[in-house]
């Protein structure tokens, strides 16, 4: 037990990848065995994360459960892991969604082994980003997560998968090129990649670097970081890869893409951009807020205009992640104030909430697509009487996405708006108008699927949601309601981290 307690983070991080290697040696035709092994392999990190959550003390500032191992001595990079309230929330989100995504893909029959292995590798890749306390390790996992996702979209995606997967890959890799270069520069300057050390050294540097004033170099490096993360979030106008990738990805892929991968970008802002570039962040907070507002409003408009159900949900991600960025912009502008803390609480909780509700929405879209083989909204209509349970769940999850009080989305969006209002009043006001359109596109989606005249061709062909699908949705719905009614358990952890960090 001591071993587990002392190596909690390493175990959480590498267990999925090691399980993937075990699956490699399972016989290809034993699909059932492979599925269950993958499911159990993804449940283990979840259980360990619960242990982590219970043992975590939110009152201690700094990183907990730290582990450090030599990795690449020649360039002074170590495998340094640790969690604080911010990363812990994200780790919980990741390990929670993974088993659900794997359970959601039990129906896949095409190359199950490769599919499950890629999924588990993907989990390690994403967890690594959240757990890393070394800039190079952060980048390693940041990039490595792309590979399984690329192949998941490219091999198991729908019609336009080739275009979407390549766009996803090249967009993200191209975006992180600046990040890579900036990381190299930092490494050359300070001879270390250790984040706690870098926070201190990078902020106290004075004079000139490589013949340029420090402020110039920092501004360039700031934008290099920001663009990499902005593409991943994605912030308008860097979002165009997202609707394609989400729409073409297999259901479980979309769940993870929207549920966790988008959070990697926002997490990058919180973990790296704000602490490393407080001055530049404050200086450019206005620009960030403009983009966030644009994402909220245009995202909602674009979602309203979609005829493809999955694309509608994809654009809703742009809309919802806009609130995260708005919160970050507000915090960057007024770092240290109570309003900034409230906005950040909201932003981080919104990351968690959007992870849950977006994963749920993509799963529900996938469920109806499996039955009807179409995502065209005009092909549906009046399905509520045919699939009442599905309809109920869809309405419930949509309401969370819409921000209905009592469900989780309301809490986080309210906190963001409450915190950002005194800091960035106009942008916040505009964003709240955006909320109006959020309501519009979600209601339109529900209307076109469940209400209106019944499309007769589905009568007798449509089966209601299965038990397995309910098991996937149940934890998500419980969390949606739980956070909506009593958010203190998670906000407590987030808030303490925010106050100590920013």
Partner 1 sequence: MVFPILSVIVFTPLVASVLILLMPAERKTEVRMLALAAAIFALLLSIWVYFNYDQAAAGYQFVEKYQWLPVLGISLHLGVDGLTAPLVLLTGVVMVTGVMISWNLDDRPREFFAFLFILASGVFGVFVSLDLFMLFFFYEIAVFPMYLLISIWGWVKTREYAAMKLTLYLFIGSVVALVGALAMYFASGLQTFDMLALQNANFPPQFQHLWFPFVFLGFAVLGGIFPFHNWSPDGHVAAPTAVSMFHAGVLMKLGAFAALRVGIMLLPEGAKYWAGWIMGLALVNVVYGAFIAMVQTDFKYVIGFSSVSHMGLVMLGFSTLTKEGLTGAGVQMFSHGIMTALFFAVVGMVYDRAHTREIPKLGGMSKYLTWPTIGFIIGGLVSMGMPGFSGFVAEFPIFMGIWQVRPWVAILAAISIVITASYIMLVIRRVFFGQVPEEFEGHIGPINALDKVAIGFLSVLMIGLGMFPALMVPMVQTGVENVLRLLGGA
Contacts to partner 1 by CB under 8 A: 70-75, 136, 139-141, 143-144, 147, 150, 154-155, 162, 166, 169-170, 173-174, 177, 180-181, 184-185, 187-188, 210
Phi and psi (nearest 5°) for 205?
Answer: -75, 140
Q: With CA atoms as reference, report the closest residue to 296 among 257, 255, 324, 335.
A: 324
CB nearer to partner 1: give 39 or 185. 185
Q: How far is the CB of 103 from partner 1 (least distance, A)?
A: 27
State the minimum distance, in angstroms, from the CB of residue 81 to partner 1.
16
Compute the distance between CA of residue 35 and CA of residue 246 in angstroms, rounded to an integer: 23
Based on CB atoms, which residue is closest to partner 1, 5 or 181? 181
Minimal distance, residue 167 CB to partner 1, in Å: 11
Nearest Cα to 194, choosing from 129, 142, 134? 134
* Residue nearer to partner 1 on the CB measure, 144 or 500: 144
Q: How many CA atoms lie within 13 A of 447 on its CB side?
A: 8
**CA gap 251, 368 in Å, rounded:** 11
DSSP H helical ranges for 373-424? 388-402, 408-420
Task: Tell me how far, at minimum, the Cβ of 147 lies from partner 1, in Å.
Answer: 6
- Residues 6+ away with beta carbon under 8 Å from 13: 81, 124, 127, 128, 131
Q: Are 255 and 182 in contact (CB under 8 A)?
A: no
Which SS3 state, helix, strand or coil, does residue 422 take?
coil
> Please, which residue, 20 or 365, has the CB nearer to partner 1?
20
H-helix or E-strand spanning residue 22:
helix 8-24
Cβ 206 to partner 1 shortest distance, Å: 19
Is residue 400 a contact partner of residue 407, using CB atoms and an 8 Å limit?
Answer: yes
Closest by CA to 304, choosing from 193, 120, 445, 100, is 445
Q: What gap in Å lies between CA 283 and CA 174, rounded to an integer? A: 25
Considering the complex, state which of residue 182 and residue 361 has its C-beta at the smaller distance from partner 1: 182
Provide, rounded to whole angstroms, the least separation between the CB of residue 306 and partner 1: 27
Complex with partner 1: residue 180 or 432, whichever CB lies closer: 180
> Which tokens hold the place of 209?
């670097």
Residue 332 dihedral angles phi and psi, to the nearest 5°: -65, -35
- What are the backbone angles phi and psi of residue 228, rounded to the nearest 5°? -60, -45
Query: Which residue number, 165 or 339, has a Cβ lying nearer to partner 1?
Result: 165
Residue closer to partner 1 (CB basis): 71 or 458: 71
Rounded to the nearest 5 percent, the helix, strand and coil shares of the chain are 75, 5, 20
Count how many residues are written for the chain: 502
Least separation in angstroms between residue 155's CB and partner 1 is: 7
State the minimum distance, in angstroms, from the CB of residue 383 to partner 1. Answer: 35
Q: Which helix (H) or strand (E) holds 469?
A: helix 467-485
Give the nearer residue to partner 1 in terms of CB position, either 140 or 480: 140
Give the shortest CB-404-to-partner 1 separation in angstroms.
42
Do the beta carbons of residue 125 and residue 141 sit within 8 Å? yes
Residue placing its CB nearer to partner 1 in the complex, 69 or 378: 69
Judge contact between 82 and 9, C-beta under 8 A.
yes
Residue 69 phi, psi (nearest 5):
-130, 150
Contacts of residue 491, defined as CB under 8 A and 6 or more positions apart, other chains included, come to 345, 349, 411
Shortest reach from residue 146's CB to partner 1, in Å: 8
Measured from the CB atom, is 127 or 344 closer to partner 1?
A: 127
Quote the strand ranges of 169-260, DSSP E: 208-209, 212-213
Q: DSSP readout, 34-49?
A: HHHHHHHHHHHHHHHH
Q: Which is nearer to partner 1, 14 or 53 (CB)?
A: 14
**Inter-helix orientation angle 161-190/146-156, to 10°:** 180
**Shortest Å, Cβ 440 to partner 1:** 38
Q: How far is the CB of 287 from partner 1 (least distance, A)?
A: 23
């Amino acid at each position: 037990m001591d071993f587990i307690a002392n190596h909690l983070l390493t175990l959480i991080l590498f267990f999925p990848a090691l399980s993937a290697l075990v699956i490699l040696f399972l016989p290809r035709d034993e699909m059932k065995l492979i599925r269950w092994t993958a499911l159990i392999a993804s449940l283990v990190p979840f259980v360990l994360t619960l242990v982590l959550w219970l043992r975590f003390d939110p009152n201690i500032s700094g990183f907990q459960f730290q582990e450090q191992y030599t990795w690449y001595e020649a360039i002074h990079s170590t495998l340094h892991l640790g969690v604080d309230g911010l990363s812990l929330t994200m780790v919980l989100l990741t390990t929670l969604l993974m088993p659900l995504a794997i359970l959601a893909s039990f129906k896949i029959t095409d190359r199950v082994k490769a599919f499950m292995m890629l999924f588990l590798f993907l989990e390690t890749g994403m967890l690594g980003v959240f757990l890393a306390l070394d800039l190079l390790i952060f980048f390693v996992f940041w990039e490595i997560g792309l590979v399984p996702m690329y192949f998941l979209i490219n091999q198991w995606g729908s019609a336009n998968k080739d275009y979407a997967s390549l766009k996803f890959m090249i967009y993200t890799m191209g975006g992180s090129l600046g990040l890579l270069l900036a990381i190299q520069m930092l490494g050359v300057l300070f001879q270390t990649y250790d984040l706690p050390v870098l926070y201190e050294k990078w902020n106290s540097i004075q004079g000139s670097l490589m013949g340029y004033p420090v402020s110039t170099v920092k501004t360039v490096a700031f934008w290099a970081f920001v663009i990499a993360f902005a593409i991943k979030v994605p912030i308008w106008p860097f979002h165009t890869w997202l609707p394609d990738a989400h729409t073409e990805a297999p259901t479980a892929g979309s769940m993870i893409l929207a549920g966790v991968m988008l959070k990697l970008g926002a997490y990058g802002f919180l973990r790296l951009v704000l602490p490393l570039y407080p001055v530049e962040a404050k200086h450019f907070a206005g620009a960030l807020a403009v983009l966030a507002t644009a994402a909220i409003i245009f995202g909602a408009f674009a979602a309203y205009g979609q005829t493809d159900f999955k694309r509608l949900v994809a654009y809703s991600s742009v809309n919802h992640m806009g609130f995260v960025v708005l919160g970050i912009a507000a915090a960057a502008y007024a770092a240290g104030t109570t309003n900034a803390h409230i906005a950040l609480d909201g932003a981080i909780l919104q990351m968690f909430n959007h992870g849950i509700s977006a994963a749920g929405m993509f799963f529900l879209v996938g469920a109806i697509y499996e039955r009807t083989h179409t995502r065209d909204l005009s092909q549906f209509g009046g399905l509520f009487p045919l699939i009442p349970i599905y309809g109920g769940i869809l309405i419930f999850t949509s309401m969370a996405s819409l921000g209905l009080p009592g469900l989780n989305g309301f809490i986080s969006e309210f906190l963001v708006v409450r915190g950002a209002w005194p800091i960035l009043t106009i942008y916040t006001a505009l964003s709240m108008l955006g909320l109006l359109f959020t309501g519009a596109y979600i209601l339109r989606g529900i209307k076109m699927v469940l209400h209106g005249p019944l499309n007769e061709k589905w009568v007798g062909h449509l089966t209601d949601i299965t038990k397995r699908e309910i098991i996937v949705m149940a934890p998500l719905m419980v969390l949606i309601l739980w956070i909506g009614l009593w958010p203190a358990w998670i906000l407590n952890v987030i808030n303490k981290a925010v106050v100590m960090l920013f």
